Structure 1
Amino acid sequence: MGIPEVDPTAGSPLLRHGARVTGNKPGRWLARRVAPRVDRQLLRLSKGKLSTAMVTPELLLVSTGAKTGQRRTTPLTYFTDGGRAIVIASNYGSSRHPSWYYNVLAHPRVTISAGGYTGEFLAQEISGSERNRLWGLATTFIPSYAQYERLAGKRTIPVVAFTETP
């Protein structure tokens, strides 16, 4: 079965609308502070079918805290590429990387749930021309990523690929 496929080139008017909502300061604040708290429960209860985003495919990433060693659950937008789940560590254009990014660098074996499917995955930060290719897909898929890149200043926004483990 595997993680549900999400084509980043399919495009959607709803995605463009969602990008406009998170393209302003209040929208980013809601998406960063409120939505993740609601989405953890909403995604669990709906078996990965409903989230506050409604227009973007969401997964639940369960990682081990880099400092605490505690399990952390984070809802994230994703798309797929060659069977891998691709996630952008945008942190809504903050000058700092998101916490989950440090967690998967320290402990790359994670659990991901999406669309009713749950599996074990291995995280890998993507670099070079492959990162550039995936970043291009990401900005086509979620146009606000390009704005987040400008807001992030000198920080290069990481692209992380999750490959299912046997």
Structure 2
Amino acid sequence: MVFNTRPGTRGARQPSAGWAFRWFNKLMARRIRRKGGGKFLGFNALVLTTVGAKSGQERVNPVGWFLGEDGNRLIVASAAGAAGNPAWYYNLAAHPDRVRIEVDGRTIAVVAEQLHGEERERAWQQIIAASPRFAEYQVKTDRELPIIRLIPR
């Protein structure tokens, strides 16, 4: 279970961490919880709860997900094609066994695992077929967008 994707040298602007971004994340997480799932920016959505890599505090982010070939959920640490990985990627790397998701009206404890090699490539092809937006994100940056499998504990 290796989380080893380094930031790139080029990419889109990193989604902001300002008050408006935090407000929007809270609003979307509340909406996903209220509806028991649903859509977020056109994706199937879940609420991802991680433990901060530095702070140790719980962090909540709405995230789009895809069904993996093994039946587990997959998420992409795209940051909309930014050069850097999203903060939640580093939280998963630091504490892959202290993760929860809220989806379909349930809270599920999961273990996060980054995909590599052939397994990642198969998942990537499935994801860009379902959502070509991710192929556009990949073109914007020189880092390989991490794909994370969420396995129920």
Normalised to the residue count of structure 1, the TM-score between the two structures is: 0.74
Considering fraction of residues, name the structure with more helix.
1
Deviation at 1:118, TM superposition (A): 1.5
Q: Sequence identity of aligned pairs in percent?
A: 29
The answer to whether structure 1 residue 73 and structure 2 residue 60 are counterparts is: yes
The answer on whether the counterparts of 2:40 and 2:63 sit within 8 Å (CA) in structure 1 is no
Output the CA distance in 2 between the equivalents of 1:140 and 1:117.
28
The answer on whether the counterparts of 2:113 and 2:149 sit within 8 Å (CA) in structure 1 is yes
SS class of match (2:55): coil
TM superposition outliers: structure 1 runs of 4+ over 6 Å: none
Matched with 1:64 is 51
What is the count of residue pairs matched by the alignment?
Answer: 134
Q: Which runs of 5+ in 1 are unaligned?
A: 1-24
The answer on whether the counterparts of 1:64 and 1:72 sit within 8 Å (CA) in structure 2 is yes
The answer to whether structure 1 residue 128 and structure 2 residue 111 are counterparts is: no
Q: Structure 2: which amino acid aligns with 1:77?
A: G
Q: Structure 1: which amino acid aligns with 2:84?
A: R
Q: Structure 1: which amino acid aligns with 2:30?
A: Q
Deviation at 1:145, TM superposition (A): 0.5
Output the CA distance in 2 between the equivalents of 1:130 and 1:155.
18
Deviation at 1:161, TM superposition (A): 0.3
1:35-94 Cα distance to aligned partner (Å, 9 max, x none)? 534211111222224x553x3210111110011000011110001121211001110000
Q: Which runs of 5+ in 2 are unaligned?
A: 1-11
